[in-house]
Structure 1
Amino acid sequence: MNDHLNVAVIGAGYWGPNLARNFRASADWNLVAICDLDVERARRVAEGVGGVPVMSDLAAVLADPLVDAVAIATPARTHHAIVLAALAAGKHVMVEKPLADTHERGDEMVRAAAARGLVLMADHTYCYTPAVLKMRELIAEGALGDILFVDSVRINLGLIQPDVDVFWDLAPHDLSIMDFVLPGGLAVTSVSAHGSDPLRTGKSCVGYLAMPLESGAMAHVHVNWLSPTKIRQMVIAGTRRTLVWDDLNPQQRLSVYDRGVDIEAVSKGSTADTRAANVSYRLGDTWSPALPEREALGGVVAEFASAVHERRPARTSGAAGLRVLSVLGAAQASLLAGGAPQVVTAGVAAQEVAA
């Protein structure tokens, strides 16, 4: 019996060729079509993976009973319509980040997949890198203790996107990683967002997010299109240890520091000021776990197949994508309110699917 699943890639632009290459190389999938309105562009992608049927008619792809799933790599504003059409046709769906261009549309997509018993997977590629998988493992086993803060920086001299600001372009990467590795996922209570548009593009090119978490920890994200230096780094500090992820350091992507501050509470009945509590600095070892080097997208397509075969939500499910959208939506509202904190609500669909 052939357990291979048949998948079509929708979109042959920036990300589509990477998806096509990984589906072609996968032992779980048969790549049966590449669909794009630009047939010549789709043909170039098809030739790059050894030859695949090329189509320009999305409806024809979705009407094909042999197609089990589609992987969508089109602009975010098109995700809602394509995903709903694919789900209505009975196809499992993987869609690149962000899940949709608004929380409301993402919520409708998640509900539609759940109602039909189909897999809706967010392509949060970073979550399948060896480094982030190790981060998740270390945090889950309690190596860091209780999480105190998360500080993330993603800056570079990058392409200013025509349809989205820097928050929607870059922050989904870091928000999806937080959702993947933190206990309880991206449980944000409110968001304060501050953006700057020094080039007068009409959108934020530099941005900062401050997010209190339900656990009592604080998360902070800095994204920037205008930095002459490129940094992709996340610091997750706990009561026991601190973890530093540096994605641009292949020799040592992860460092675990047994260093920190221990504060002993003032004993009951003491008249001393609480500022006189004993503060001690813990200076322990620093170590770096060994990590394999492999392409994250290979893990993404393997997880997609496993979720379909096992009839379960993917590790980066539509609900995970919706939680990221919740933060982005609250950030957008905070920007309009001059940086005032905005409450984050994940939505009923995300809660139902996550449960």
Structure 2
Amino acid sequence: MSALRVAVVGCGYWGPKLARNLHEMDNVELHWLCDLVPENLARVATLCPEARLTTNMDDVLQSDVDAVVLVTPVSSHHALAMKALRSGKHVLVEKPLATTEREATELAETADRQGLVAMVGHTFQHNPAVNAVRDLMRSGELGEVYYLDATRANLGLFQPDINVMWVLAPHDVSIFLHLLEDSPEEVSAEGAACVQRQRCIHDVVYLKLFFPGAVLANVRVSWLDPVKTRRLIVVGSKKMLVYDDIAENKVMLYDKGVERPPYSTTPEEFHLSYRHGPETPVEFEWREPLRVECEAFANWITTGQPACSDAWMGVRVVRVLEAAQRSLMDGGGRGPVQL
């Protein structure tokens, strides 16, 4: 089977990381690198010297490439992805898929109609640590899942045209959807625009997702924190776990919990039992998530095996973010996620 011919459009911060992974894959040939800034192209060209360089995406679309990887500003995702799909190219679009559910849905429907692959860069859905957490939840070892609590914070990188929720929260929303295998019924969001106050671009947001079965998922995202934090806590009726993406032991399982007596109708009968069992690191085979994502994209195109982060998953994430944005603008009120 001939190698998959791929182009990367957008070579700023994240594009070179995708280009490196694609360049290192045996079944992929990186034919084009495209960016509006020549200096960006020159920098990434050292990683992939065989790729052709251009500042015009039309050069890419008029070529014989099979697929286009879009790593451009969020506001451009819809227009550029639609242009690629209409040119008969498969697309991998960096998250979020689009800025509105309507635009995201149009992309997904266009890909389906034309028989093309449209995938979103929800990298954490391909992360072995996240999938180890998912396996534990599926196995029932945690018991009934009560809630999930995530923090994704750092100092920067501030964006001039989009708030922190749209940049960082897609990671955690996609993780929640992946782990719970469901969609939230309602959301609420509150935040503050501390640095870009006049432009009302929020740099810290507290987002709550209300899932069926009274499962609550919270995430705090911030560009204004002194310490980089990438952590998720999952609390169940039997056990609890912590996934810390920065720690050496990324997933720790805690045999801890609270047990209540079957009958406690009076204060005298209300005696809770606290369990403090061992803390155990969860073992799993680690691979670079971005490589797994790139392999899933290539595999879908060549074998027809869909990836978990398809365009319709992207639609679901954007739907949640759009509902959260409405709540954010309305002062934090709890509102429905439109289905």
Superposition TM-score tier, normalisation by shorter sequence: over 0.9
Asked whether 1:194 is paired with 2:190, we answer yes
Question: Does the CA-based 8 Å contact 1:7-1:68 persist in structure 2?
Answer: yes
2:308 to 315, 329, 343: 315
> Deviations along 1:20-58, whole A, 9 cap, x unmatched?
100000122111111122234223312222331112222
Map 1:48-197; keep pairs closer than 5 Å.
Answer: 48-64=47-63, 66-182=64-180, 184-185=181-182, 187-197=183-193
Matches of residues 8-47 of structure 1 in structure 2 within 5 Å? 8-47=7-46
Q: Is the partner of 1:215 in helix, strand or coil?
A: helix
Query: Residues 149 and 238 of structure 1 are in contact (CA less than 8 Å); yes or no, is this contact kept in structure 2?
Result: yes
- Asked whether 1:280 is paired with 2:279, we answer no
CA contact (8 A) 1:265 1:278 kept: no
> Please, which runs of 5 or more residues in structure 2 have no aligned partner?
none
Identity of aligned residues (%): 39
Find the counterpart in structure 2 of residue 352 from structure 1. none
2:129–2:286 CA contact under 8 A, matched in 1:
no
Matches of 1:122 and 1:94, distance apart in 2: 6
Which residue is 2:250 aligned to? Answer: 253
**Number of residue pairs the alignment of both structures matches:** 337
Cα distance between partner residues in 1 of 2:189 and 2:279:
34
2:263 is equivalent to residue 266 of structure 1 = yes
Which whole-Å CA distance do the structure 1 matches of 2:213 and 2:269 have between them? Answer: 26
Q: Does 1:209 align with 2:201?
A: no
Deviation at 1:220, TM superposition (A): 0.6
SS across alignment from 2:272 = strand
SS of residue in 2 equivalent to 1:48: coil
| Contact 1:10/1:34 (8 A) holds in 2 | yes
Q: What per-residue deviation string (whole Å, max 9, x for no partner) do you get for residues 255-297 of structure 1? A: 0011111234438xxxx34895552222222110234443221
Cα offset for 1:132? Answer: 1.2
Residue segments in structure 1 that go unaligned for 5+ positions in a row: 347-355
Match of 2:293 in 1: 300
Q: Supply the AA of the counterpart residue of 2:225.
A: S
Q: What is residue 224 of structure 2 aligned with on the other side?
A: 226
Structure 1 residue runs of 4+, over 6 Å off?
none
Q: Does 1:344 align with 2:333?
A: no
Deviation at 1:141, TM superposition (A): 2.2
Decide whether the 8 Å contact of 1:180 with 1:316 is kept in 2.
no
Counterpart residue type for residue 59 of structure 1: D
What CA distance in whole angstroms lies between the structure 2 residues aligned with 1:231 and 1:222?
A: 10
Say which SS state the counterpart of residue 30 (structure 2) adopts: strand
Give the CA deviation at 1:235: 0.3
Which amino acid is 1:219 matched to?
Answer: A
2:279 aligns to what SS in structure 1? strand
Go from structure 1 to structure 2 and tell me whether the alpha carbon gap of 1:275 and 1:75 turns closer, same or farther (over 3 Å shift). farther
Which one-letter code corresponds to 1:192 in the other structure?
S
Task: Give the whole-Å Cα distance in 2 for the aligned partners of 1:60 and 1:330.
Answer: 37
Secondary structure of 1:98's aligned partner? coil
Alpha carbons of 1:44 and 1:88: their partners in 2 closer, same or farther (altered >3 Å)?
A: same
Q: CA deviation at 1:146?
A: 2.1
| 1:80 counterpart SS class | helix
SS of the aligned residue for 1:191 comes to: strand
Offset at 1:80? 0.3
Match of 1:243 in 2: 241
Instruction: Give CA-to-partner distance per residue, 1:135-175, whole Å, 9 cap, x none.
Output: 12222222222211000011221122101111112111111
Q: 1:6, 1:298 → 2: CA distance?
A: 17
Summarize deviations over 1:54-85 as a string: whole Å, max 9, x none.
12222231122x31111000000000011111
Match for 1:32: what amino acid? H
Cα deviation for residue 209 of structure 1 reads: 0.9
Q: Are 1:28 and 1:302, in contact at CA under 8 Å, matched by a contact in 2?
A: no
